[in-house]
């Protein structure tokens, strides 16, 4: 039987469990699973696995029973459902902390916690970019002075240690530098990490209006009324501009400063109500 602790997506766990049970449990079916859960509806498990239905607290507990999970495994399953179905970064934070507390100590858990720490503080990303043009050789104070806003040298040192643990740095004769390694994260983890990252960068963007002279920062905005179809066109144009900018950045032979580029497009009004929303059971 697959271990629930190896998953960050409860629907994926249910899919793998179903495959395992069909091969290892005589007479197992969607109907028998729901019967063991004290539920009816032969297609309900299938619809949950496919993302057509969410689980409520009651149905989550019934699923845990049918899955024959231990007490700790059941707690993990409930937190995993909460994590996957959370609507806000705050809710995801809460469930993520619970998941990490319940998981047995293993390398994957450590990696996800480390990735969480990486996105928690904006300066981790900034220091990684600085290492492209400024090698690190016990010069935390220099990094501290150049970061805006300044970060204590002790936090700079911890950030470098974090980057090393993620395999994002390489040792050179001049000192540590940023490697070309990519940080690979589970899509479910990104749904927790990235909103926090964008929030912190948006906050720095607001502060930059007063922190920097207008010759050092660029702000522009346009309020528009558009249809869903034009929204998709605008998003694709933004993506194209971002790709073009990155090509110029990669060709820059002498960078000496780290910038963060925010591209934001978000609604100021609600759209028409959509029909056919998912039902909970």
**Cβ–Cβ under 8 Å, residues 126 and 148:** no
pTM of the model: 0.68
Whether 219 is covered by a domain: the verdict is: no
Does any domain span residue 90?
yes
Banded pLDDT at 107 (limits 50, 70, 90): very low
Q: What is the pLDDT of residues 9-48, one digit of tens each?
A: 999 999 999 999 999 999 999 999 999 999 987 789 999 9
Domain that holds residue 25: 4-102
Residue 47 located in a structural domain: yes
Smallest Cα–Cα separation from 77: which of 187, 175, 2, 172? Answer: 2
pLDDT at residue 197, as a whole number:
85
Q: Does residue 98 belong to any structural domain of this protein?
A: yes
pLDDT value for 8: 87
Q: Where are the alpha helices (DSSP H) in the chain?
A: 10-24, 30-36, 44-49, 57-66, 71-85, 89-102, 107-120, 122-130, 140-146, 153-165, 187-211, 228-250
Residue 136 DSSP SS3? strand
Q: What residues pair up with 175 in beta bridges, in sequence order?
A: 172
* Tokens matching residue 249: 């950045």
Q: Does residue 252 surpass a pLDDT of 70?
A: yes
SS3 state at 46: helix
Residue 16 lies in a domain: yes
Indicate which CATH number applies to the domain containing 13. 1.10.260
pLDDT tens readout for residues 108-121: 555 567 777 888 88
Q: Could you tell me if residue 121 is inside a domain?
A: no
In a domain, 93, yes or no: yes
The Cα 234–Cα 231 span in angstroms is: 5
Cis, bond preceding 132 (omega within 30 deg of 0): no
How confident is the model at residue 110, as a pLDDT? 56
Per-position DSSP letters for 1-45, written without gaps between them: ---GGG-S-HHHHHHHHHHHHHHHSTT--HHHHHHHTT---TTHH
Residue 173: inside a domain = no
Tell me how many domains the chain contains. 1
Which has more confidence, 190 or 259? 259
């Amino acid at each position: 039987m697959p271990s629930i602790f190896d998953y960050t997506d409860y629907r994926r766990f249910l899919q793998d469990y179903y495959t395992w049970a069909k091969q290892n449990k005589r007479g197992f079916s969607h109907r028998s699973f729901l019967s063991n859960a004290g539920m009816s509806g032969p297609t309900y498990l299938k619809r949950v696995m496919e993302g057509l239905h969410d689980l409520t607290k009651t149905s989550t507990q019934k699923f845990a029973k049918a899955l024959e999970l231990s007490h700790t495994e059941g707690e993990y399953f409930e937190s995993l459902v909460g994590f996957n179905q959370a609507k806000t970064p705050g809710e995801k934070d809460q469930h993520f902390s619970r998941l990490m507390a319940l998981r047995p100590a293993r390398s994957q858990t450590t990696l996800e916690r480390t990735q969480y720490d990486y996105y928690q503080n904006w300066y981790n990303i900034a220091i990684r970019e600085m290492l492209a043009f400024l090698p690190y050789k016990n010069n935390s104070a220099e990094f501290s002075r150049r970061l805006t806003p300044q970060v204590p040298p002790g936090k700079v040192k911890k950030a470098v240690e974090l980057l090393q643990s993620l395999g994002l740095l390489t040792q050179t004769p001049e000192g540590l530098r940023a490697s070309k390694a990519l940080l690979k994260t589970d899509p479910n983890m990104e749904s927790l990490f990235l909103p926090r990252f964008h929030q912190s960068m948006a906050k720095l963007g607001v502060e930059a209006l007063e922190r920097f002279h207008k010759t050092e920062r660029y702000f522009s905005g346009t309020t528009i009324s558009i249809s869903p179809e034009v929204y998709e066109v605008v998003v694709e144009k933004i993506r194209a501009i971002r790709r073009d900018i990155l090509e110029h950045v990669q060709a820059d032979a002498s960078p000496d400063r780290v910038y963060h580029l925010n591209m934001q497009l978000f609604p100021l009004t609600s759209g028409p109500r959509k029909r056919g929303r998912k039902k909970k059971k």
